[in-house]
Amino acid sequence: MLFYVLLFPLFYTLTLENITWLTSDTHDFGTFKSKEVRYTFSFRNDTDQPVLIEGTRTTCGCTVPAWEESPILPDSTGSIEVTYDGKRRGYFHKKIMVFFNHQRKPENLWITGYVED
């Protein structure tokens, strides 16, 4: 019986972490002239309860994510729009960490590209 008591919290935690990305977790903007570019990452909530994006963290102030603050119901979709301010010339590879209310570890998204003159 003790085995089930110890195993249940682990199983419960594992079953909650079902966010399915409908787009790739990486987007390449390719080569573009200095400007602001945007991309929307989409996901589906495959859990049996509403999930909420609690926050995000990025590797640079030039990368700004935006999302709806309302809960995403089970079997529903949500999205995160990422804006990159391409003022600096050259190659970039930026990480966006997305924190959901039911997960300990963030979901990692990536954007890449090359800003030319």
Q: Kindly state the percentage of the chain with pLDDT values over 70.
A: 85
Q: How far apart are CA 93 and CA 17, in angstroms?
A: 26
Which runs of E-coded beta strand occur in the chain? 19-21, 26-33, 36-45, 53-58, 63-67, 77-85, 90-100, 107-116
98 in Cβ contact with 16 (< 8 Å): no
Residue 116 has pLDDT above 60, yes or no: yes
Amino acid identity of residue 79, one-letter, is S
Tens-digit pLDDT profile for residues 1-51: 555 545 444 444 444 468 999 999 999 999 999 999 999 999 999 999 999
Domains plus CATH for the chain? 2-116 (2.60.40.10)
pTM for this predicted structure: 0.83
